[in-house]
Amino acid sequence: MTFDYDLFVIGGGSGGVRAARVAAQGGAKVALAEDDRYGGTCVIRGCVPKKLMVFASEFPSAIEDAQAYGWTVHSGGFDWSAFQGKLHAELDRLEGVYRTILSSNGVDTYDARARLADAHTIELSTGERKTAKHILVASGGQPVKPDLPGAQHAITSNDIFHLETLPKSILIIGGGYIACEFAGILNGLGVQVTQFYRGAQILRGFDEEARGLVSEEMIQNGVNLHLGTNIMEMAPVDGGYRVKGTNGSDEVFEQVMFATGRVPNTSDMGLEEAGVQLGRKGEIVVDEYSQTGVPSIYAIGDVTDRVNLTPVAIREGMAFVETVFNANPTPVDHELIPTAIFTQPEMGTVGLSEEAAREQEPIEVYATSFKPMQQAFAGRNDRVLMKLIVSQATRKVLGCHIVAPGAGEMIQLAGIAVKMGATKEDFDRTCAVHPTMSEELVTMKTPVRTA
């Protein structure tokens, strides 16, 4: 049987675009369909605009610090519309880059919604039907709101970049990294931020000591954080929304934002009808090669709900091309992925938390918390944390956790060592770079505890 394409990709995010480009560069005939903007969650409504907002939100404290260092600085107010205009211009530019990448590599693109008609056939919302030897689903995920009275009035992280004006007050519901990042961003931009999280501590799944410090610093920076608290109902009133909390609170907020989870974009795509198995959250079930139970259909990225990070989706896309088009079966490596959370303070982590490592084997914990020189000189009480989890048996560094300004930059480099299997003695043999915060990673001599 002859097909219109060797590969048809559904989804124009980072993973789908990378797979399409690399397959096309190798000589495959490739098409890609995207019914929204090219670049996906990360570029259009995630990592990129969020990080630019983080930068914008950090200037008030930087201006205060400049004064402490002897500079005469006069800060005006923050012009949201001016920033937003530049932000959207940058996102338009990046979307153009993604479109150019595809067209310059000979990938046919369809600005349409795609669904499966069968294991080799794609049905587009334009009415066209295309066939492909291989189909790659890279349709990503989206935020969801809980089913409770008034929830339809709230916004999600998708909407935050499109607000016409910054609210004077906002309630953010959730305790994951998206909720915590936007709490810090909006707080820095001058919004009165209240955050509800139903759990005992924010950033569930991360190292307990590290997330505890992030929580403390967020509160110190002005975020009104309520743990063990959830929303019961919300209703529109003059000036915003009246929200009742499980802690007995009854307040009005100008905006309410839910950051309570994301779901894979798999609804009404014809997946199950084509024989593709979906999991409990609607995620596509795949093997270590990203292949579904239908041999011609593969899936990568957030739609598989494995490790929902942009660089992981890109690596999954590369592994897919190696496996299917280069006859080099390449399983996806999800071990020891370094990651950063752009809370304020930032957190970088790779490997096991102290809690997870302790359950696995006897460990030593090396940790230090201190006031960084730059902020301490400016009179601020910010604290940072450097932490290594070490196996007693092999001396390997099982986990590295950093809470500090620039933690994302530091963990990228520490991640190389941890991924290579570096031991505590390898860290000790490395000469310190002085004066830096990260030198503490190679100068901690005595464990603070063993377990």
- Per residue in 359-377, pLDDT tens? 999 999 999 999 999 999 9
Active-site option among 153, 162, 334, 434: 434
Work out the pLDDT band at 48, boundaries 50, 70, 90.
Answer: very high
Cis peptide before 362 (omega within 30 of 0): no
Do 5-141+263-325 and 151-260 show the same overall fold?
A: yes
- Mark whether 74 is an active-site residue: no
Work out the pLDDT band at 131, boundaries 50, 70, 90.
Answer: very high
pTM: 0.96
pLDDT given at position 74: 83
The answer to which of 117-121, 145-149, 426-430 has the lowest mean pLDDT is: 145-149
Where exactly are the structural domains of the chain? 5-141+263-325, 151-260, 339-450
Nearest to 313 by CA among 42, 36, 34: 42
pLDDT higher than threshold 80 for residue 75: no
| CA–CA gap between residue 181 and residue 410 (Å, rounded) | 18
| CA–CA gap between residue 269 and residue 138 (Å, rounded) | 12
Specify whether the CB–CB gap between 252 and 239 falls below 8 A: yes
- Per residue in 182-228, pLDDT tens? 999 999 999 999 999 999 999 999 999 999 999 999 999 999 999 99
Give the sheet arrangement for strand 255-258, strand by strand: 224-227, 192-197, 169-173, 255-258
Mean pLDDT computed over 296-322: 98
The terminus-to-terminus CA distance of the chain in angstroms comes to: 61
Backbone region of residue 197 per phi and psi (left: phi > 0; alpha: psi in -120 to 50; beta: other values): beta
Q: Which fold has domain 5-141+263-325?
A: FAD/NAD(P)-binding domain (3.50.50)
pLDDT given at position 263: 97
Work out the pLDDT band at 18, boundaries 50, 70, 90.
Answer: very high
**In this structure, what token pair is assigned to residue 382?**
């910010």
Give the sheet arrangement for strand 384-391, strand by strand: 339-341, 347-351, 397-403, 384-391, 363-370, 449-450
- Per residue in 121-130, pLDDT tens? 999 999 999 9
The CATH superfamily label for domain 151-260 reads FAD/NAD(P)-binding domain (3.50.50.60)
- Per residue in 330-340, pLDDT tens? 999 999 999 99
pLDDT given at position 289: 98
Q: Which fold has domain 339-450?
A: Enolase-like; domain 1 (3.30.390)
Question: Which amino acid does the sequence have at 133?
Answer: K
pLDDT given at position 1: 84
